[in-house]
Amino acid sequence: METSASDTKKSIQIEIFPKRMIKPDTVEGLLNKLCSLEGIQRAFIQGPRLPTKVPFGPAVGTPVHHPVRTNVHFGKTEMGLEVLVGRITLELAGKEVMEEINAICEDTLPCGFDIREGRFIQTRQTVSDYAKRGPTADPALYGLYDPKSKIESQVNLLRTNEKE
Amino acid sequence: MAYEAQFYPGATSVAENRRKHMSGKVEKLREISDDDLTIILGHRVPGTDYPSTHPPLAEMGEPECSIRELVEPTDGAKAGDRVRYVQFVDSMYNAPSTPYFRSYNTAINFRGVDPGTLSGRQVVEARERDMEEIAKFQLETEMTCPALSGLRGATVHGHSLRLQEDGVMFDMLDRRRLENGTIIMDKDQVGRPIDNKVDLGKPMSDEEAAKRTTIYRVDNVPYREDKEVLEWVHRVFEQRTMYGYKPAVQE
């Protein structure tokens, strides 16, 4: 197996935390610019989920049609956005691109933001991950999708990186 | 001299707004028609009679009772209306009201109500026409900003989240949204689509929301700046702890 992001001791994780929840257009613009940078190994977007149907109450089962639940394009890859984006976590090969990321955020985000360094994506399997995926799971996918869901529904591999 | 209720201590704008909400002396900012209100509440079809659970009190022949003679029933109770609810959600980002102050407003200024106060939402149960009166009052006055507050019967998530880019509180059922500078609601409070769009009015600007809010925040009016409020809160806590609300013991 190739050395993955999680195995590399030098890789760092940062979290971009905007002061407002951001629209799909802004997410698309921001991630497209970030994708052009060298050294970003994994990205994780998080926010409140947008249901397709009313989950409970008297109107349970009624279709919602939330305008924010839409498709966004990163280069040649199309991805269905199922959350309103509240924070973006990136795994970087090193700190060299931090300034460029800061500049891109300042250009793209219409509101203030914080960038902080820490450990936001898990690097080891939990017991339930192990039970679902077994000992041969790809370490690059740790923490990127829920063990109960299908990998295709939550993880997107950018086509630009297919050859690598 | 007649006693005038003071409602709440403090010298800051937040304390003043809290007094306004509790006393009911709030400014009317917008107009929402009765039909529009009925549609977004979703309990009955606009223009239809109020369904009832019992005959009007006048026809029922009530038993002789000094309390019944003393207390006049509300209009809804007189007519025998059903009990129905309205539920509000207010953002933590400088929404004008909060669950507590909606409940104070309801309990102090209206009769025959059952306010329920929760961390992120506030529900009022009352006879249908009494409930509509409360909902209309709170929606039309400065107690509500259409962008920072929401009418949500179910699926209330959003009050503690950051606002969306356009300054509107998150709503996972997309009941209301910003269109051409005003907030439009095209679903009722539980998320059922309605036939026409209801205009809830223009959202408050950030400055206006900060001026009209009843929420102390470090980035607006910090709680610790309101010395009089702090003093009274300390006094209440100390007396409750030491004397169990028995001032006679203290003396």
pLDDT tens across B186-230, in order?
999 999 999 999 999 999 999 999 999 999 999 999 999 999 999
- Statement to judge: residues B229 and B208 lie in one domain: no
Distance from CA of A61 to the nearest CA of B (A): 10
Is residue B36 in a domain? yes
Rounded distance, CA B207 to CA B246, Å? 44
Q: Are residues B22 and B105 in the same domain?
A: yes
The verdict on a CB contact (< 8 Å) between B163 and A62 is no
Asked whether residue B1 is assigned to any structural domain, the reply reads no
B180 and B124 belong to one structural domain: yes
Q: Enter the tokens of residue B47.
A: 């223009």
Q: Do A65 and B190 touch (CB under 8 A)?
A: no
Q: Which of B162, B163, B177, B187 to mutate to test the interface with A (most CBs of A within 10 A)?
A: B162
**Domain count along chain B:** 2
Residue A53 distance to chain B (closest CA, Å): 8
State residue A163's pLDDT score. Answer: 42
- Contact check, Cβ <8 Å, B161/A20: no
- In-domain check, residue B63: yes
- Domain of residue B240 covers 221-251
Is residue B6 assigned to a domain? no
Same-domain check for residues B35 and B114: yes
Q: What is the pLDDT along chain A (164 residues), one digit of tens a residue?
A: 444 555 545 689 999 999 999 999 999 999 999 988 888 888 889 999 999 999 999 999 999 999 999 998 887 788 889 999 999 999 998 888 999 999 999 999 999 999 999 999 887 888 888 888 888 887 777 777 776 777 777 777 665 554 43
Minimal CA separation from B21 to chain A, in Å: 28
Q: Return the pLDDT at A48.
A: 94
Domain boundaries, given as residue ranges, for chain A = 5-50+63-121
pLDDT band at B183 (very low <50, low <70, confident <90, very high): very high
Is position B2 within any domain?
no
Comparing alpha-carbon positions, the chain B residue that sits nearest to A17 is B162
Is B86 within the bounds of a domain? yes
Q: Which of A73-87, A144-158, B16-30, B52-66 has the lowest mean pLDDT?
A: A144-158
- Phi and psi angles of residue B177, each rounded to the nearest 5 degrees, phi first: -155, 165
The answer to whether residue B26 sits within a structural domain is: yes
In a shared domain, residues B99 and B195: yes
Beta strand B83-90 pairing with B193-201: unpaired
What is the C-alpha to C-alpha distance for residues A54 and A58, in angstroms, rounded to an integer?
9
Q: In angstroms, what CA-CA distances link B157 with A54, A110, B93, B152, B169?
A: 13, 24, 14, 9, 10
Which of B203, B180, B21 shows the shortest CA–CA distance to B108? Answer: B21
Both B130 and B242 in one domain: the answer is: no
ipTM: 0.84
Mean pLDDT, rounded, for B69-89: 96
Question: Where would I find the H helices in chain B?
Answer: 13-23, 34-41, 57-60, 66-70, 75-79, 99-109, 128-140, 206-212, 227-243, 247-250
B248 pLDDT higher than 80: no
Measured between CA atoms, the residue of chain A closest to residue B164 is A21
Please answer whether residues B194 and B206 qualify as being in contact, where contact means their C-beta atoms are separated by less than 8 angstroms: no
B155 touches chain A (CB under 8 A): yes
How would CATH label the architecture of A5-50+63-121?
A: 2-Layer Sandwich (3.30)
Query: What chain B residue is nearest to A26 in terms of C-alpha separation?
Result: B165
User: Do B142 and B247 fall into the same domain?
Assistant: no
Q: Which residues in chain A are contacts of B155 at CB distance < 8 A?
A: 54-57
Together in a domain, B143 and B241: no
